[in-house]
Amino acid sequence: MTLFEARIEITHRPGILDPQGANVERALPALGYQNVRDVRVGKSIRLVLDAPDAETAAAQVEEMCHRLLANPVIEHYAVELMAIAAEPAEASAR
């Protein structure tokens, strides 16, 4: 089994209102940043999972996003996966 770290970015789908982003975009010019636009605020989720290979890990994370982490009707998600350690099977710790 290999340990993977997944970094998931969850953003609003285009056309879905992003009130947090709009607020930040309104606040920035008042602080002197006139050169900023298109602010979007989403979620960033990181988790560690144990899987036999990268394909299995990616499929599982995808499924978790769809079932629990994101709302696929209004949110879009992107997953990045990094192998962080190979665990010795036989002496499969944890």
Residues that bind a copy of itself (CB under 8 A): 7, 9-11, 21, 24-25, 27-28, 31, 33, 35-51, 60, 64, 67-69
User: Smallest distance from the beta carbon of 73 to a copy of itself, in angstroms?
Assistant: 19
Closer residue to a copy of itself (CB): 5 or 73: 5
Cα of 90 vs its chain's centroid, Å = 32
Task: Region of 93 please: left (phi>0), alpha (psi -120 to 50) or beta.
Answer: beta
Least separation in angstroms between CB 5 and a copy of itself: 8
Candidates 76, 90, 57, 71; CA nearest to 10 is 76
Q: Could you tell me the smallest distance in angstroms from the CB atom of residue 33 to a copy of itself?
A: 6
Tokens matching residue 26: 């309104």
User: Considering beta carbons, is residue 47 or 74 the nearer one to a copy of itself?
Assistant: 47
Question: Cβ of 8: how many Cβ atoms within 10 Å?
Answer: 21
Closer to a copy of itself at the Cβ: 60 or 71?
60
